[in-house]
């Protein structure tokens, strides 16, 4: 028996023992990425439920049969895809991420990182699933605890104590203060974290400023503030409808490393940032 609370398309959702309950209507009406992945022009409670049902049926998410290894890359420049390629190339030796049924997890293998992160979205709280926790530990992962605590700062501290030196940590925009704290701890420990921010729809201008000051990569999601504040301070933007901003040289390096391994064609040209044609953005921007 386990319960998990997530956000998807800014709808609040409860998944309990395989049963999906979409608690609120999605605030996002249209997402170009979700349209590309799942074929939904307009979001509603049924589209949210269908996507989660797909994740449960195909990947065993939120249950005992959870897939924990994958080399599929469904998103061109998603967080897991960028981190996976960085890990495979030796630019990263550990990633502090979150997984349902386990909470904060330290992962060292690219294929495990991709399986955990490829379809994870907005995990707010989660309860233990023994099979997921045991499977992750068998694949060399470190769990913050058995109670599924989600604490990325403590996850980074544990990764440093375990001896890792090139550590990526994911944070969410509404916990932007974690990015600042991580950089402060990096100064103290001498192990500078690579901080990447995901799930940023609806964040405040103050939170976006914090991300721009303390993150290496920031996903714009459907955030107007990220586009306007983080975008202007960035060194690189990849993607147009859901921009990914490389804020630092390290962030730029990880994005370009992903571009190096990207199999389809790309156009790279000089531009003032952000470049966000209004007709290609999610609706509404928040």
pLDDT tens for 177-186 read 999 999 999 9
Whole-number pLDDT of residue 1: 76
Confidence of residue 5 (pLDDT cuts 50, 70, 90): very high
Is pLDDT at 133 greater than 80 in this prediction? yes
Predicted model pTM: 0.97
The mean pLDDT of 119-144, rounded to a whole number, is 97
Write the secondary structure of the chain as one string of H (helix), E (strand) and C (coil).
CCEEEEEECCEEEEEECCEEEECCCCCCCECHHHHHHHCCCCCCHHHHHHHHHHHHHHHCCCCCCCCCCCCCCCCCCCHHHHHHHHHHCCCCCEEEEEECCCEEEEECCHHHHHHHHCCCCCEEECCCCHHHHHHHHHCCCEECCCCCCCCHHHHHHHHHHCCCCCEEEEEEHHHHHHHHHHHHHHHHHCCCCEEEEECCCCCCHHHHHHHHHHCCEEECCCCHHHHHHHHHHCCEEECCCCCEEECCHHHHHHHHHHHHHCCCCCCCCCCCCCCCCHHHCCECCC
At 167-177, the pLDDT tens digits run 999 999 999 99
The mean pLDDT value of the chain amounts to 97
Banded pLDDT at 231 (limits 50, 70, 90): very high
């Amino acid at each position: 028996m386990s319960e998990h609370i997530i956000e998807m398309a800014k709808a609040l959702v409860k998944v309990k023992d395989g049963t999906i309950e979409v608690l609120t209507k999605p605030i996002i009406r249209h997402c170009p990425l979700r349209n590309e992945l799942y074929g939904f022009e307009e979001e509603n409670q049924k589209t949210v439920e269908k996507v989660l049902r797909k994740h449960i049926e195909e990947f065993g998410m939120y249950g005992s049969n959870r897939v924990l290894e994958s080399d599929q890359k469904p998103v061109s420049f998603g967080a897991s895809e960028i981190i996976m390629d960085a890990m495979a190339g030796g630019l990263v030796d550990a990633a502090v991420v979150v997984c349902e049924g386990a909470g904060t997890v330290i992962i060292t293998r690219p294929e495990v990182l991709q399986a955990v992160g490829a379809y994870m979205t907005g995990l707010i709280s989660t309860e233990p699933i023994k099979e997921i926790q045991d499977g992750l530990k068998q694949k060399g992962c470190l769990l913050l605890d058995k109670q599924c605590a989600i604490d990325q700062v403590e996850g980074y501290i544990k990764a440093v104590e375990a001896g890792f030196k090139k550590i990526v940590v994911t944070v969410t925009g509404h916990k932007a203060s974690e990015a600042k704290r991580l950089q402060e701890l990096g100064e103290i420990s001498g192990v500078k974290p690579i901080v990447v921010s995901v799930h940023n729809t609806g964040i405040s201008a103050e939170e976006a400023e914090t991300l721009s000051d303390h993150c290496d990569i920031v996903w714009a999601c459907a955030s107007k503030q990220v586009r306007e504040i983080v975008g202007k301070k960035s060194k690189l933007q990849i993607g147009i409808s859901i921009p990914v901003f490389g804020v630092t040289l390290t962030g730029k390096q990880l994005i370009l490393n992903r571009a190096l391994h990207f199999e389809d064609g790309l156009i790279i040209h000089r531009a003032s940032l952000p470049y966000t044609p209004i007709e290609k953005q999610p609706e509404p921007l928040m």
